[in-house]
């Protein structure tokens, strides 16, 4: 698991661009999902995600914590500080 706490982190910059730009998502062939129900649906249809990004506080929620420790969470898990995660959020009240 990678912990990201800086806006200057290149991974954060790439995630932010991806979360804010439909053009960037299409260009890279990626999707951004917010919430365990969408992630579980994605797994059923497409398999493990390439990357999972959660907030520090979200990683402490039982449902998300179980998922992260289950081995189903994909190749890369990034845990962002809550402030950085809020900058990525695509919905008004992100779920973790």
**Position 60 pLDDT exceeds 70:** yes
| Among 80, 15, 11, 70, CA closest to 43 | 70
Tell me, what's the pLDDT at 56? 95
Place of tokens 């290149």: 10
User: What burial class does residue 39 get, using C-beta atoms within 10 Å of its C-beta: 0-12 exposed, 13-18 middle, 19+ buried?
Assistant: buried
Indicate the average pLDDT of the chain: 87
Q: What are the pLDDT digits (tens) for 12-51?
A: 999 999 999 999 999 999 988 888 899 899 999 998 888 8
Reported in sequence order, the residue ranges of the chain that DSSP labels E, i.e. its strands, are 2-4, 51-55, 76-80
Q: Write the DSSP symbol of residue 86.
A: H
Domain positions in the chain are: 2-88
Domain 2-88, what fold? 60s Ribosomal Protein L30; Chain: A; (3.30.1330)
Question: Mean per-residue pLDDT for 71-79?
Answer: 79
Tell me, what's the pLDDT at 61? 94
Beta bridge partners of 78: 2, 53
């Amino acid at each position: 698991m990678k912990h990201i706490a800086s806006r200057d982190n290149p991974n954060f910059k790439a995630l932010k661009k991806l979360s804010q730009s439909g053009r960037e998502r299409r260009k890279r062939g990626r999707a951004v999902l917010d919430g365990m129900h969408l992630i579980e649906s994605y797994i059923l249809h497409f398999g493990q995600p390439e990357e999972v990004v959660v907030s520090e506080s979200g990683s402490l929620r039982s449902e998300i914590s179980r998922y992260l420790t289950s081995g189903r969470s994909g190749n890369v898990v990034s845990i962002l500080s809550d402030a950085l995660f809020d900058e990525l959020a695509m919905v008004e009240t992100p779920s973790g």
